[in-house]
Amino acid sequence: MTKETLMKAIQISAFGEPRDVLRFADFPEPAAPGPNEVLIQLEASPLNPHDVYVIRGGFPVLPPTPGPVGNEGVGRVIGVGTDVDHLAIGDRVLLPIFTWLWRERMTISAKGLFALPDADLHQLSMLGINPPTAALLLSEYASLEPGEWVVQNAANSGVGRAVIGVAKARGLKTLNIVRRPELVDELKEAGADVVLVAGDNTAAEAEQAVNGGRIGLGIDAIGGEAIGLLATIVSPRAAVVAYSILGSATMSIPAWSPIFKQVTVHGFFLGNPDSAAAAPAAVREVLPLVVSGDLHTPISGVYPPSAIVEAAIHAERGGKVILDFTAA
């Protein structure tokens, strides 16, 4: 009887609170790559808010349990199957989402993978979700011309910062709403045109800031009355798109916005078929911005996978957390 070869993986025993169910433990080694497959050594992966939702069992797409979790990252090709001629051993690749990839090694399809250029490892590890989400939010719901405005809340989030960078590259202007005054200068330094602190006068301040310019798109991550504020701020016939539920699972939008201003409201999820099909092109569009550093996400903590519980606690407090598997 052949003894099973083991590696390590971050796994959950069942859905629940991260500190209770996460563990870094033995897991079977993957099979050798077959035709059109590659063997990947995971290098780095962010611990995103949606990873916490997955661990708790509250996300639309869930892994089998018990088993690995994790949904975004980069790794090196360390084995190549037959019929793979576009990748070589040593290439760094972006891993597909919903791969449940917090494991030291994995064998996956080579379809759609491509070699990444040299750049900051931790920034590249965040390429798969937030930057393409930002690019698609800016293009799929409104036809915006250079010089037009986009208004967003949660502007300091990963998607929010990506919206600022992608919009700037496209010649669009961003009107950004945050909750903490100390973020104003930081986001302006990152390329934001206007940053407002949410308050009773935000709508009036926004109107004054754009000075007659058209606000063709609102991007919401909070829900509740926050999305209603965006619907109030945007111009007639604009679109408002919700992509997350950071504040409330319900939306409160003034009826006069869709009735008299003809504002339309949409929802975005990268896992939906149309968005997933458009994501690869969006990744290629934003990749040069990440490589050049024009699109940069501040990191508040880097942890080895063995410290996954501490990393999850940090992520729940806030800030971008990276799991560095090269430090395992």
Q: Are strands 264-267 and 239-242 parallel, antiparallel or unpaired?
A: parallel
Is 251 a domain residue? yes
Residue 185 sits in a domain whose CATH number is: 3.40.50.720
For 305-326, write each residue's pLDDT tens digit: 999 999 999 998 888 999 999 9
Q: Is the pLDDT score of 282 beyond 90? A: yes
44 and 10: one domain? yes
How many structural domains are present in the chain?
2
Tokens of 80: 């190549």
Is residue 160, in this structure, part of any structural domain at all? Answer: yes
Q: CB count, 10 Å around CB of 231?
A: 24
Does residue 146 share a domain with residue 119? no
Mean pLDDT of 279-283: 95
Within-domain flag for 275? no
189 with 245, same domain?
yes
- Can you give the residue range of the structural domain that contains 190? 131-267
Asked if residue 137 and residue 80 are part of one domain, the reply reads: no
Domain annotation covers residue 289: no
Q: How confident is the model at residue 49 (pLDDT cuts 50, 70, 90)?
A: confident
pLDDT, one tens digit per residue, over 135-188 is: 999 999 999 999 999 999 999 999 999 999 999 999 999 999 999 999 999 999
Q: What is the CATH number of the domain that holds 305?
A: 3.90.180.10
**Mean per-residue pLDDT, 41-45:** 98
Per-residue confidence band for 1, with pLDDT thresholds at 50, 70 and 90: very low
Residues 205 and 323 in one domain: no
- pLDDT value at residue 2: 53
User: Is 315 within the bounds of a domain?
Assistant: yes
Tell me whether residue 263 is in a domain: yes
Find the range with the poorest average confidence among 113-122, 194-203, 313-322: 313-322
Average pLDDT over residues 75-94: 97
Q: At a CB cut-off of 8 Å and minimum separation 6, what does 241 contact? A: 137, 141, 217, 218, 219, 220, 265, 266, 267, 268
| pLDDT at residue 262 greater than cutoff 90 | yes
Is the domain of 202 the same as that of 114?
no
Query: Which of 87, 131, 179 lies closest to 288, judged by CA?
Result: 131
